[in-house]
Amino acid sequence: MTFDTHPRSSLIVALDFDSLKSALKFAQQIADVVGMFKIGSQLFTAAGPAAVREIAALGPGIFLDLKFHDIPNTVAGAVLSSAAMTGVQLVNVHALGGHAMLHAAVQAIGAGQPMGADRPRLLAVTILTSMDQKAMREVGIGGPPKTRVVKLAKLAKTAGVDGVVASVQEARAIRKACGRDFLIVTPGVRPKDKDSAAAAKTDDQARTATPTEAIKAGADFLVVGRPITAAPDPRAAAQSIVDEIAAAK
Ligand code: C5P
């Protein structure tokens, strides 16, 4: 897939809504200033494939963020169904599912696509950014999170996965280990906007970074939710992030 080079293409807005009606109403206001919409488990569980169909009809591509993690055959089926939905450009799985599961997902993402069509890209989630070293140890994963994240990113790359979802703090190390063409998608982005306290609120994100820091660290795509969805003027909030991305590139 050739992603358009306009700075807006790097902005993915997370539609964390509990109904398709509210997600659509919101997405309509900003569809022409953003690159993609992210549909996660909350909206997809509530509204199903209709959410993808109706949001994709607004124009921007869809990042279907369902983080599959199951036996290889089941994940392959889920990835195949995801890739068959019109408008889906990014799909993800958990790297902790292991090489066989990742490889099954890689094969599924390209299967069933019409000849000559651009297939969606497959991403792996390494370690959830909500987990710190203690939480990792509790589930039997030792060592510092960054070391583990880079190892999992390399495993995903070896299996043929196109990129990872990772925090800005880990982006540089992943870029170094996995090369220029490996996609890096970073959530936890908070604009530094002195005029708007809402924009800089960290919410439940433990580690945040500004759009400029994310781009400088090598991120290809920035996932932003509440700084746009909860802004008094979502269009202006999205546009100001796009302007910041443009200045940082
Ligand atoms: O509102 P906020 O900007 O924090 O939203 C970030 C989005 O990115 C949410 O949809 C969240 O589920 C998602 N995400 C994340 N951290 C990850 C992976 C996904 O925050 N490691």
Higher pLDDT, residue 183 or 205: 183
pLDDT of residue 27: 98
**Range 226-234 average pLDDT:** 96
From the candidates 67, 151, 154, 216, which is the catalytic residue? 67
Atom number of ligand 1 nearest to Cα 14: 10
pLDDT of residue 206: 67
| Residue 38, H or E segment | strand 36-40
Nearest CA to ligand 1 atom 6: 225
In this prediction, what percent of the chain has a pLDDT beyond 70? Answer: 94
- Mean pLDDT estimate for the chain: 93
Question: 14: Cβ below 6 Å to ligand 1?
Answer: yes
In tens, the pLDDT along 10-39 reads 999 999 999 999 999 999 999 999 999 999
Which of 109-123, 190-204, 217-231 has the weakest average pLDDT? 190-204
Which of 4-13, 66-75, 100-109 has the weakest average pLDDT? 4-13
pLDDT of residue 174: 98
67 is catalytic: yes
**Range 40-53 average pLDDT:** 98
C-alpha 171 to ligand 1 mean position (Å): 16
Structure confidence at residue 197 as a pLDDT band (50, 70, 90): very low
pLDDT of residue 116: 72
pTM: 0.94
In tens, the pLDDT along 146-174 reads 999 999 999 999 999 999 999 999 999 99
Distance between CA 108 and CA 73 in Å, rounded? 10
Q: For residues 86 and 64, is the Cβ–Cβ distance under 8 A?
A: no
**Range 86-104 average pLDDT:** 98
In this prediction, what percent of the chain has a pLDDT beyond 90? Answer: 85
Q: Which amino acid is at 160?
A: G
**Is the pLDDT reported for residue 227 higher than 80?**
yes
pLDDT of residue 1: 53
The DSSP code for 161 is -
pLDDT of residue 195: 52
Distance between CA 150 and CA 176 in Å, rounded? 9
Distance between CA 130 and CA 248 in Å, rounded? 27
Write the CA distances from 52 to 94, 159, 217, integer angstroms: 21, 27, 30
pLDDT of residue 216: 97
The DSSP code for 150 is H
pLDDT of residue 50: 98
Distance between CA 72 and CA 40 in Å, rounded? 21
